[in-house]
Amino acid sequence: MAIHWCGTGLSAIPGLRRLIEKGYETVVWNRTIEKAKKALGDITDNIHAFDKHSIEKKLKPGDIIVSMLPGDWHVPLAELAISKKANFVSSSYIAPEMKKLDGKAKAAGVTLVNEIGLDPGIDHLMAHKLVEEYRNSSLNTAENDLSFVSYCGGIPKISNDFKYKFSWSPLGVLKALKSPSKSIRDYKEFEVDRPWNAISSYDAPLEQPESFEVYPNRDSLPFIKQYHFDPNWKIKEFVRGTLRLNGWSKAWQNVFEEIEMLSGPTGETRLQEMSDQFWRDNSYEEGEPDRVVLCVGLKAQKENITQWHKTYVMDAWGDKESTAMARLVSFPLSYSIEAILLDKIPPGVHAASDNLILITEWLEKISKIAQNFEIVDHNR
- Please tell me the total count of domains within the chain: 2
CA distances for 156 relative to 163, 220, 370, angstroms: 7, 26, 16
Q: Is 220 exposed, middle or buried (0-12, 13-18, 19+ CB in 10 A)?
A: buried
Residue 37 sits in a domain whose CATH number is 3.40.50.720
Task: Tell me 157's DSSP state.
Answer: S
pLDDT cut 70: percent of the chain above it: 100
3-state secondary structure of 229: coil
3-class DSSP state for residue 342?
A: coil
For residues 360 and 365, give the distance between their C-alpha atoms in angstroms, rounded to a whole number.
9
In a domain, 329, yes or no: no
Q: Is residue 18 part of a domain?
A: yes
Say whether both 143 and 11 belong to one domain. Answer: no
Domain span holding position 103: 3-113
The predicted pLDDT at position 169 comes to 84
pTM: predicted TM-score of the whole model, two decimal places: 0.95
Residue 152 located in a structural domain: yes
Compute the 3-state secondary structure of the chain and give helix, strand, coil in percent, each to the nearest 5. 35, 30, 35
pLDDT-derived band at 337 (thresholds 50, 70, 90) equals: very high
pLDDT score recorded for residue 79: 98
Whether 119 is a known active-site residue: answer yes
Residue 303 and residue 154 in one domain: yes
∠ Cα 239 313 288 (to 5°) = 105
Query: Which CATH number belongs to the domain containing residue 367 in this structure?
Result: 3.30.360.10
Specify whether 13 is located in the same domain as 162.
no
Using CB atoms within 10 Å of the CB of residue 56, give its burial: 0 to 12 exposed, 13 to 18 middle, 19+ buried: exposed
Residue 320 has pLDDT above 90, yes or no: no
342 φ, ψ to 5°?
-95, 10
pLDDT of residue 223: 97
Does the residue 335 lie in any domain?
A: no
Last residue of a domain, which of 67, 96, 113? Answer: 113
Is the same domain home to 177 and 306? yes
Distance in angstroms (rounded) separating the CA atoms of residues 334 and 15: 6
Last residue of a domain, one of 79, 113, 147: 113
Question: In the structure, what pLDDT confidence band is assigned to residue 380 with cuts at 50, 70 and 90?
Answer: confident
Please tell me which residue in 42, 51, 72, 119 is annotated as part of the active site: 119
